[in-house]
Amino acid sequence: MKITRYLRLAFRRREVASQILRHFPKRVAKVSKERGIGIGIGYFLYYLSHYSGIPFDSAYWWLVKRRSHGRFVKTRVLNFDMYLDLNDHGISRQLWLEGIREHGAVAGYKRELLHLREVVRSPITILEAGSNIGYYVLIAYHTLKDVRIFAVEPAPDNVELLQRNLKLNGLEKVVEVTKGGLSEQSGKMPLFLSDESNVHSMEYNRSSGTYIDVPVWSIDDFLEMKGLKSKDVHVLRMDTEGHELAILLGMKKVLDSNTPMLCFIEFHDVLLKDGRIYKAIELLKKHGFYLSYGCVDYFIGTVEEFWSLDELPEILQRHSAAEVFLRRGY
């Protein structure tokens, strides 16, 4: 159960647990003040449910959907609008409640994109592996404007909502969406589905026996299919729930290109199995990537930062995921 995992974390990292307990009431008060008492109550119930694994918030979401006349709602997220799916237990509900998620990663991504802009004068090309419903796509566009983005997403429901969000923001000609996934080799793979739209994975998920087969490409094959050269990619953002090493192994030409590049990767604890996280770190270091910033984003807004790629395996022993920003050539 989730509560067992968090109790283990609280015992091992008492200072972090203490920080979360101090921060949570303040965050509830802040959300209530900025977004209304009703949403503040929802925020409290949502995270109580998240950390306990007990659905205290079920009645709340039923009421919200009833008042919204359906599951889809439009809301303000950061400095742009998004459509969200309130049936999604993950990113959509978090964004509806707070208007932001992953505070540390968002700040880090904006900072890294602006720094890359000082190095790359041409329009920046971004490849997204796991675009979900478009949260980071929209952040990238509204940070730089002068970009072209290739968004790859395997889950059909996510693709539909992603396209609605691109249309809402007038970005249909800026972002090219491909329904499918990225992996080590091109072909087909099962995508295991979750009730959280941002937790679908090509790595077996024993919490869900439901899967669909989806087309996949290696990054090298994908770029050739799109008429791009390896050196054309300036940013790779990857959130693939444990499939990170496979994708890295499928981008040999990109790794060998030695051009200035930013990788924003969310690594997951499943990579601890068979030492895959060490293989990923070794591969990135071998091709000149170094860590410029790393963080763990707690759901209630607190951030744990780290500054060495060698710390990543130990961090994944304690957390299910960590975000890293890696630079090469600048």
Average of per-residue pLDDT across 94-117: 97
Lowest mean pLDDT among 7-11, 72-76, 221-225, 270-274: 7-11
Strand 290-297 and strand 321-328: pairing?
antiparallel
**Three-class HEC string of 76-95:** EECCEEEEEECCCCCHHHHH
Q: Which domains does the chain have, with CATH numbers?
A: 2-69 (no CATH), 103-328 (3.40.50.150)
Q: Rounded to 10 degrees, what is the CA torsion of 199, 150, 309, 285? A: 130
Residue 81 has pLDDT above 90, yes or no: yes
Would the pLDDT of 5 be above 60?
no
The token pair at 15 is 């200072």
**Above 50 in pLDDT, residue 1?**
no
- In the chain, what's the furthest Cα-to-Cα distance? 54
Helix axes 58-67, 37-52, angle to 10 degrees: 140
Angle between helices 14-35 and 91-98 (to 10 degrees): 60
Least confident of 13-17, 166-170, 221-225, 252-256: 13-17
Give the percent of the chain with pLDDT over 90: 83
Average pLDDT for 18-47: 90
Please give the model's pTM, rounded to 2 decimal places: 0.92
Of 50, 44, 4, whose CA–CA distance to 24 is shortest?
44
Mean pLDDT of the 272-300 span: 95
CA angle 80, 238, 55 (to 5 degrees): 70
Confidence of residue 121 (pLDDT cuts 50, 70, 90): confident
pLDDT of 53 reads: 83
Q: What is the mean pLDDT of residues 168-194?
A: 97
pLDDT higher than 70, residue 9: no
Strand arrangement, sheet containing 290-297: 175-179, 147-153, 124-129, 235-238, 261-268, 321-328, 290-297, 303-306
Whole-number Å distance between alpha carbons of 305 and 295: 4
Which pairing describes strands 290-297 and 303-306: parallel, antiparallel, or unpaired?
antiparallel
Percent of the chain past pLDDT 70, that is, above it, reads: 93
Average pLDDT of the residues in 176-192: 97
* Residue 311 pLDDT > 90: yes
The more confidently predicted of residues 10 and 90 is 90
Token digits for 6? 């968090």
CA-to-CA distance for 204 and 197, rounded, in angstroms? 16
Amino acid identity of residue 315, one-letter, is I
- Write down the residue that tokens 């799916």 correspond to: 85
More confident residue, 17 or 255: 255
**Residue 51 pLDDT grade (very low, low, confident, very high; cuts 50, 70, 90):** confident
Residue 14: what pLDDT? 65
β-partners of residue 287 are none
What is the three-class DSSP state of 47?
Answer: helix
**The token pair that represents 203 in the structure block:** 């790595």
Average pLDDT, the chain: 92
Neighbour count for residue 15 (Cβ, 10 Å): 7
